[in-house]
Amino acid sequence: MRSPRRCSRNGCPRQAVATLTYVYNESTAVVGPLAAFAEPHTYDLCEQHARSLTAPRGWDVVRHEGKFEPPPPTTDDLVALAEAVREAARPAPPRADEVDLDRPTEPHTGRRGHLRVIPPRP
C-alpha cells in the first residue's frame, strides 16, 4: 500500500485529506476532497489547514463543505505492492558485461535482488 500523503504545509506531519488548487485567472483558491493523485501545482492539506486556509485580499475561496476524510485503501494498492514484491524477488539474468568468458568457471555465488557476491580473484 502506498504511504499516505502528508500535508504540504511546512512542519505539518498530519495526513492530507484535501487538495488546494489555485485558479489564477479567476483569483480563486479551491479546496476540495483529496485528489486521487498528487499533481504539480496543487497542494495536499490536512483537515486543520484545509478549514483554516485564507486567500490573499481580492481572492475568493471555494471550499468543500462536507467532511474531509482520508481515502480508503484500495485493492489496486495491494495488487501493486504484491507485484512489486514478486518483481524484486525474481532473480535477474546476468548481463553480458558481467560474464567473463576468459576466466575459468568457478562455483557460482549467485545474485539476490540488487546485491551481488563477487568471488575473490586467485
In tens digits, the chain (122 residues) has pLDDT values of 455 789 999 999 999 999 999 999 999 999 999 888 888 889 999 999 999 999 889 999 999 887 887 766 666 666 777 777 777 777 777 666 665 555 555 555 555 566 666 777 77
C-alpha separations of 115 from 89, 109, 118, 120 in Å: 12, 11, 10, 16
Residue 75: helix, strand or coil by DSSP?
A: helix
pTM of the full structure: 0.56
From start to end of the chain, where are the E strands?
18-23, 28-33, 42-45, 60-63, 111-112, 115-116
